[in-house]
Amino acid sequence: MNKEISTLVKVRFSDCDPIGHLNNVKYLEYMMNAREDHVETYYGFTYEEYSRRTGCTWITVQNEIAYLREVRFNSKVQISSKTIEVRDRISKVEILMKSEDGKTVNAVLWITVIYFNMKTRKSEVHPPETRGLFEEFLTEVPEKTFAERVAYFRKQNKLS
């Protein structure tokens, strides 16, 4: 099973600044939208459907993003996502925005989320079936901190 899910996206002119670079906040939007699509296609649920069925959702508690290379309008980028950590209440996802050929990493995003009960307004432990599903897609990354991961991609980009 491929644990790193990827889609190809065209960068829209309207999402760019006056000099033609993708706006920083739009990196987040493109990456989050791709992740939502990946979850629906590969994990088999939408966040809306899951929340309605269980009364629980995931709340982002931390975003860490590094912009490594510029992305210009009308270019195509690969956006991939993978689960890199699963604990009782917390999960962490890595989303990469890469060049169309996948050789250059333009941005890396780590999202940390907590599992949250909307009725009690408190964090809860992931149900076993949900945690199991996330663990099926769990991918180990050798770098244990965001700074180490960014340094790794910067080095890789210099080689490509």
**CATH number 3.10.129.10 given to 5-159:** yes
Say what the pTM is: 0.94
Domain segments of the chain: what residues?
A: 5-159
Task: State whether residue 66 is helix, strand or coil.
Answer: strand
Per-residue pLDDT of the chain (160 residues; tens, 9 = 90+): 568 899 999 999 999 999 999 999 999 999 999 999 999 999 999 999 999 999 999 999 999 999 999 999 999 999 999 999 999 999 999 999 999 999 999 999 999 999 999 999 999 999 999 999 999 999 999 999 999 999 999 999 999 7
